[in-house]
Amino acid sequence: MTISPELIARATELRDLINKHNYLYYVTDNPEVTDSEYDRLFAELKQIELDYPELVTADSPTQRVGGQALDKFSQVTHALPMLSLDNVFSADDFAAFDQRVRDWLNTKQTQRYAAEPKLDGLAISIRYEQGILVQAATRGDGAVGEDVTVNVRTIPTVPLKLVGDTLPDVVEIRGEIFMPKDGFDKLNQAQLAAGKKPFVNPRNAAAGSLRQLDSKITASRPLAMYCYGIGEIKGIPAPESHSDAMTQLEQWGCRISPELQQVEGLQACLDYIDYLGKKRDDLPYDIDGVVFKVDSVALQQRLGFVSRAPRWAIAYKFPAQEEMTTVEDIEIQVGRTGALTPVARLKPVFVGGVTVSNATLHNEDEIRRKDVRVGDTVIVRRAGDVIPEVVQVVLSKRTEPSFQFVMPNVCPICQSEVERTEGEAIVRCSGGLFCPAQRKEAIKHFASRKAMDIDGLGDKLVEQLVDAGLINDVADLFDLTVEQLASLERMGEKSAENLVHALDNSKHTKFARFLYALGIREVGEATARSLANHFLTLEAIESANEQDLIEIEDVGSVVAHHIVTFFQQTHNRDVIERLIDVGVEWPQPQKIESDSKLNGKTVVLTGTLEHLSRSEAKEKLLALGAKVAGSVSTKTDYVVAGRDAGSKLSRAQSLGITVVDETTLIDWLK
Ligand code: IVH
């Protein structure tokens, strides 16, 4: 069969592209494409070479590992090469891998694998002689890496000396250097405060930090390491399984992933993928998949290698959290408090498990700093529940002419002038409640789940109601009739009745919810709760002055000022009065027993509770004056650990925080 010239040209193009991206990624730390785009190019080339083996060339990136070492660090030849991993992206492909392993071993028996997170950092090999750290090298091209010994020595989790009695004469410890998420956030805040460019993601930050010629800079960066393998080992017998190797490493004082597990058979592997996928966002560091390794070293040796990767291991990749797409437009959204937010309208892209077509550009400063322009190719990131973000423009793909984005001087909705407060990045529409956008947002907020929780009153409907002139403020909602609602487009009689019913139900609420629903600037759920618990009645809050308000925890002078100003406005007082008149009511909160053990304490709930739902437990804790936090820090007083508690529990233990079980919690709540 003859090969078409197009295909030959494509293979050449792919080879050049991948080699270029390898260089940008490994050598300059300045990638132009996301990992997933790179994986796709690689997969395409691999497929072509598989279909037409005559197209494989000696310089094809499929035939060697990674890129070259930087010449600013001296070079190190690894005693044993540092390999790469093949990837799979679906359960079916994983099943095919498992089948291949069993076919190769000529067995029908289920396989035992070691399963662990695929950490998103950089591979490192650290050589210990007689237990002393003598050299640390990056992976480089797998055979030769860069000598980063002085930098690695600065990483607190890397032992400078191994501990224990059974130390080998020589051991190369392999692992991943990464930057935990909280450290990354802090580093980026500091970068911004110093007028420096923030890092795009924790992986880039870790790579940039490790490749510093000045090790003092590395020392100031929050790097960590987990070990996941052993290279050369001399003087003691090599471990018989991956799990044994990990236990041995722990005994020598190295850190290994707490998520490491032995799993047997296909189903257990798929369950582990599911388990870790669900946990991904809660882990304190970025992972991009799961690595499975045939546990037995004897079997690993029988399986061997193919060019760049072992046959006994595979990486199951999770959906990418970064993707590339283009900015089709930049629009301005006007928020509840009048803030003008630029939003990028994107060519829809599948990232972080969902299709994303909008990403906030935050404010004028941000848009200027990133210099995002209409037509630009950008990298979009969506991790967990976090709002999708444009992290970087791919400048090399910008086509001329392109124009810097300019914030408008008038509100795009009501044409009122915009106001810029000195020292604030945000510009606001000065139209107040005259601006339909602000009115709509205030009503959406009032109806939202954590506020008045009006079932069936979604964002679209609020827009329709305001546009049709049926409502102007939140009090108008309660005068709506079934006939008026039923006259709206896409609204039947039944839905109209349901909505009137839901509006009626929502009148019986809680004081804190009502306060939050009012949409006072800077008054979030927690502040609303503190206000309700402290003042107990609306009258008390209305007549409080700034001094009275500052007494409350969480309320500073800015918030106090916003609260006082809110209640001074006749319009706001009028709306509140009308709400009370139509029957909005709440039971008066109980004064918190200050002798409760939980008063003022910060509690974190983790794992599955058997007798209480999360929200019940939270409500009860709040009612006793406790704060309920989402993550464990040194400020945490108690961690309540239910079934299958994971990283939060281990973090609590490592910080020496009191951990209690559900029974104790129920006891306390009595
Ligand atoms: S094992 C022979 N385990 O993934 C197997 N690698 O794509 C060699 N990585 O260069 C690697 N977490 O930087 C292994 N738990 C883990 C890993 C892991 C992250 C990285 C490592 C390697 C790359 C291979």
Q: Which domains does the chain have, with CATH numbers?
A: 5-65 (1.10.287.610), 87-317 (3.30.470.30), 320-429 (2.40.50.140), 432-506 (1.10.150.20), 511-581 (1.10.150.20), 602-669 (3.40.50.10190)
Kindly give the distance from the C-alpha atom of residue 123 to the centroid of ligand 1, in angstroms, as a whole number: 7
pLDDT score, position 63: 58
Which protein residue has the closest C-alpha to ligand 1 atom 11? 84
Distance CA 361, CA 457 (A): 28
- Quickly count: other Cβ atoms within 10 Å of residue 539's Cβ: 9
| Maximum distance among all Cα pairs of the chain, rounded to whole angstroms | 88
- Residues in contact with ligand 1 by the CB-under-6-Å rule are 83-85, 116, 118-119, 123, 139, 176, 228-229, 291, 310, 313, 315
pLDDT score, position 70: 45
Mark 319-331 as b/e (b = at least 16 C-beta within 10 Å): bbbbbbbebeebe
Q: What are the beta bridge partners of residue 20?
A: none
**Strand 313-317 relative to strand 287-294, pairing:** antiparallel
pLDDT below 70 — which residues of the chain?
1, 22-30, 58-59, 63-71, 592-595
**Strand 287-294 relative to strand 112-119, pairing:** antiparallel
pLDDT score, position 552: 87
Kindly give the distance from the C-alpha atom of residue 21 to the centroid of ligand 1, in angstroms, as a whole number: 19
pLDDT score, position 137: 96
46 catalytic residue (yes or no): no
Quote the DSSP letter at residue 165: S
- Residue 92's identity, in one-letter code, is D
Closest approach atom of ligand 1 to CA 87: 7
- The reply to whether the predicted model has a pTM over 0.75 is no
Kindly give the distance from the C-alpha atom of residue 252 to the centroid of ligand 1, in angstroms, as a whole number: 21
Q: Which of these is catalytic: 72, 118, 444, 507?
A: 118
